[in-house]
Amino acid sequence: MDCPRCHSELRVENYRGIEADRCPNCEGMWLDYGELDQLEDMAFDKDELKGSLMFRSFEGELVCPKCGGRMQRFDYRAYNLELDFCERGHGTWMDAGEEKRVLELMEQRIKDLDRKAKAEAEWGDFLRKLGSPSFFDKVKGLFRK
């Protein structure tokens, strides 16, 4: 199988337990269908909390190394990271370093969800205190003077 970017022959390598096809020249990586999810799971394996993988796609310039069809590009999970994928479901192409960016984004997703949960809990506490009689007594006391 040849690299869709520079047309060098891809070499099979084990990337963190995933059998990926790596280009020795441009260092891009081909992940077969389902392997992008496996890569994400290394950082964050709660699929229901990952968010949408793709909102829209558009025609890319690369061709699928498996079927030769024109690949589509998309903004990965609405982040500023464009990946290429085969519409026929053969897999995903990532340029050099993009696999690391996917892992970073999944780690950031965990932090964002933790921050969201903490903010919601604090807001809930505030609303409970707001509804307490002692809070209203204090507010009324401000206007009695």
Q: Where are the domains of the chain?
A: 11-144
Based on C-alpha coordinates, what's the Rg of the chain?
Answer: 23
Can you give the three-state secondary structure of 7-65, one letter per residue? Answer: CCECEEEEECCEEEEECCCCCCEEEECCHHHHHHHCCCCCHHHCCCCCCCEEEEEEECC
pTM confidence score: 0.77
Q: What is the pLDDT of residue 60?
A: 95
Q: What is the pLDDT of residue 88?
A: 96
| Cβ atoms of 3 and 10 closer than 8 Å | yes
Which residue in 51, 56, 37, 52 sits closest to 103, CA to CA? Answer: 37
Write out the chain's pLDDT in tens, 145 residues.
999 999 999 999 999 999 999 999 999 999 999 999 999 999 888 877 777 788 889 999 999 999 999 999 999 998 899 999 999 999 999 999 999 999 999 899 888 778 877 888 888 887 777 766 666 676 667 777 6
Q: What is the pLDDT of residue 139?
A: 67
pLDDT in tens, 3-29: 999 999 999 999 999 999 999 999 999
Q: Which two tokens stand for residue 29?
A: 């990586």
Q: What is the DSSP letter of 4?
A: T
Q: Which residue type occupies 111?
A: K
